[in-house]
Amino acid sequence: MKHIIGVIVFIAVITVALGTWLDSINLLPPLASAEGIPIDWLFNLHIQVIAFLFALIMGFMLYSVVVFRRKKDDTGDGAFIHGNAALEIVWTIVPLFVVFYFAYLGVVTLNDITSPSRNELVVEVTGSQWNWRFDYPEYGLSSTELNLPVGRTILLKLTSIDVIHDFWVPEFRVKQDAVPGMVKELRVSPTETGTYKLRCAELCGLDHAYMLADVNVMSPAEYDEWIDQELEEIAKAEAGPALERGQRVAELMGCQDCHTLDGSPGKAPTWLGLYGKEEALTDGSTVLVDDEYIRRSIVDPGAQIVDGFGGTMPARFGDELSEEQIADLIEYIESFSE
Ligand code: CUA
């Protein structure tokens, strides 16, 4: 009996000490969404249970090693103990119910954070190798950074153009895959204004680690201001020269991730001096870079590949861009001819 009490006290002390320490070292980044509140609560509960299980195993072992160590000059065998049915039943049934209880908590939490709420703001998120694009269908806006108003539930509709990506902002806690050919939903209700980073959390190729986007959570007034500003810019660009419209298309589609504008080497031919140039192709022939060639390279990028490049141009732009947008883009590329 003395030993039972001793070991229980020992385990309780380790549990409390370890649990308090793990609680104090901030394992998680700052919390910035309403969905993260039950998730963090559940996470911390797991941590406390882990502290207890660690103490249970290590406590029994350390206590036995120290208290029941061999006495000096004792060369006899230890007592022979063969199993304990009652103990085995207890240590099977108890964890089983603990696991069931955690499964129940998981289902309740998942249901809680995925259920719709009123007045949701829909943002369509498109992942591609290796960019994020955000469309706001309510306003007809597109952006390369995710701007959100604080205190409102955002319904993110995620998809991908090529391979599986994964939408993850650590401060929001929730996470969802972006799968080609599917639209996956994720709800986030930002609670703190500030700038966060969206990271791709699914290994998706060479630049996976750099597939980032800024997430700005702003006050509703600032958000409205941003919307007005963007709409104004679109109206201005549409009324303005084709060159500016083309520049906007290039920014949204991420052209400059591969095509440089200053002649420096990139993953694809630089746009500086490209228009009007004779390019050598992989099949040994040459081609004059004119409107027709650029149009074909956008719509069917595998058809004529410039020698020295690996055919990394995505095939999606033909579907994503209108004829007018392609014409604007060609105008923009032409402006870099020498
Ligand atoms: Cu996209 Cu990793």
Q: How far is CA 5 from each of CA 2, 10, 12, 15, 81, rounded to the nearest angstrom?
A: 5, 9, 11, 15, 21
pLDDT at 325: 86
- The token pair at 173 is 């806690």
Sequence ranges of the domains in the chain: 2-67+85-114, 121-235, 240-334
215: phi > 0 → left, psi -120 to 50 → alpha, else beta; which?
beta
* Cα–Cα dist 22/45, whole Å: 11
- 184 CA to middle of ligand 1, Å? 16
Instruction: Give the pLDDT of the chain (338 residues) as one tens digit per residue.
Output: 888 899 999 999 999 999 999 988 888 899 999 999 999 999 999 999 999 999 999 998 999 999 888 888 888 888 888 889 999 999 999 999 999 999 999 999 999 999 898 889 999 999 988 889 999 988 888 888 999 999 999 999 999 988 999 999 999 999 999 998 899 999 999 999 999 999 999 999 888 999 999 999 999 999 999 999 988 888 887 777 888 888 888 887 878 888 888 888 878 889 988 888 888 888 888 888 888 888 888 888 888 888 888 777 877 787 778 888 888 889 899 888 86
* Cα–Cα dist 244/248, whole Å: 6
Q: Could you tell me which CATH class the domain 240-334 is placed in?
A: mainly alpha
- 15 CA to middle of ligand 1, Å? 39
- 315 CA to middle of ligand 1, Å? 18
- The token pair at 34 is 């309403």
* Cα–Cα dist 190/195, whole Å: 11
> Residue 132, preceding bond cis, omega within 30 degrees?
no
pLDDT at 130: 85
- The token pair at 47 is 């941590």
Looking at the CA of residue 130, tell me the nearest atom of ligand 1.
Answer: 1
- 265 CA to middle of ligand 1, Å? 24
- 212 CA to middle of ligand 1, Å? 9
Q: What share of the chain is helix, strand, coil (3-state, %, to 5)?
A: 45, 20, 35
Looking at the CA of residue 201, tell me the nearest atom of ligand 1.
Answer: 2
Which CATH fold would you assign to the domain 121-235?
A: Immunoglobulin-like (2.60.40)
C-alpha torsion sign, points 307, 312, 318, 323? negative
Contact 180, 247 (CB under 8 A): no
Q: Ligand 1: which residue has its CA nearest to atom 1? A: 165
Looking at the CA of residue 208, tell me the nearest atom of ligand 1.
Answer: 2
- 133 CA to middle of ligand 1, Å? 13
- Point out which residues pair with 190 in neighbouring strands: 33
DSSP letter, residue 191:
-
Looking at the CA of residue 160, tell me the nearest atom of ligand 1.
Answer: 1
Looking at the CA of residue 164, tell me the nearest atom of ligand 1.
Answer: 1
- 142 CA to middle of ligand 1, Å? 20
Looking at the CA of residue 203, tell me the nearest atom of ligand 1.
Answer: 2
pLDDT at 235: 82
- The token pair at 271 is 């746009």
Strands of 92-220, DSSP E? 121-128, 131-136, 141-143, 146-149, 154-160, 165-168, 175-178, 184-188, 194-200, 212-218
Q: How far is CA 183 from each of CA 35, 48, 224, rounded to the nearest angstrom?
A: 21, 37, 27
Pocket of ligand 1 (CB under 6 A): 127, 130, 165, 200, 202-204, 208, 211
